[in-house]
Amino acid sequence: MIRPLLWLSLVPLMAGPAAAQEASLEKQARKLHKLAGGDACETSGYVPEDDYESWTFSYLPSWSSGDESDRAEVTLVRLFCFAGAYNESHAYYLLRDFDGLQPLGFAEPAFDVKYKNDDYNGAVEAITVVGMASRNLLVNSYFDPETLTIESFSKWRGLGDASSAGTWIFRDGAFSLVHFTVDASYDGEMDGQVLVDYQSER
């Protein structure tokens, strides 16, 4: 039996490798972030206390027979990029055993907004999806480790009545866009139009 005082002295030694591994990952992620973010993430101003966050979780790949030994472990990293008056931007990185730490891109619909009389303060006549794009920064985003979901809410102005919002869920080793809305009217109301919806199929 290990005596209580001896057990307490062993705790730092047992936690040491995990802490060192996390510190090494943070250092690696910050280095990659500086390269991937470029000038957009260079800031000498506001930096939040949680400018670096990480989550480690596992999943069963689609090719798996269901055996728990087939589970793959990944680590998601979120790093602060910059902040404006009412928006904060973050970049995400994913660490996999087989291809290391890589920046994540997030699918978004590219769209065109038609306003009455071409006045953005006027009524929205149509929002047309014209293709798909990829973003490496998400605005006002957070990750839910329970549902493995990332959500973002980008305010086009401080009121938040004009905005775009997306939801990406982790499936089979990658994040997929499952929901996206756009509220293009500056009318004081929050009533976004759904452009992408795969959530109702689940």
Enclosing H/E stretch for 175 = strand 174-183
User: Could you tell me if residue 55 is inside a domain?
Assistant: yes
User: Could you tell me if residue 69 is inside a domain?
Assistant: yes
pLDDT for 36 equals 87
Enclosing H/E stretch for 194 = strand 193-197
Please state the domain count of the chain: 1
User: Could you tell me if residue 4 is inside a domain?
Assistant: no
pLDDT for 9 equals 41
- Find where tokens 């790949």 sit: 61
User: Could you tell me if residue 197 is inside a domain?
Assistant: yes
Tokens representing 160 are 């938040």
Do 166 and 139 touch, CB atoms closer than 8 A? no
User: Could you tell me if residue 128 is inside a domain?
Assistant: yes
3-state secondary structure 96-123: ECCCEEEECCEEEEEEEEEEHHHCCCCC
Of 59, 54, 4, 64, nearest in space to 33 by CA: 54
User: Could you tell me if residue 28 is inside a domain?
Assistant: yes
User: Could you tell me if residue 2 is inside a domain?
Assistant: no
- Per-residue pLDDT of the chain in tens (202 residues, 90 and over written 9): 444 444 344 334 334 666 777 889 999 999 999 998 777 787 657 888 889 999 999 999 999 888 898 999 999 999 999 998 899 999 999 999 888 999 999 999 999 999 999 998 889 999 999 999 999 999 999 999 999 999 999 999 999 999 999 999 999 999 999 999 999 999 988 889 999 999 875 5
| Domain span holding position 14 | 9-38+46-201
Tokens representing 96 are 């996999």
User: Could you tell me if residue 89 is inside a domain?
Assistant: yes
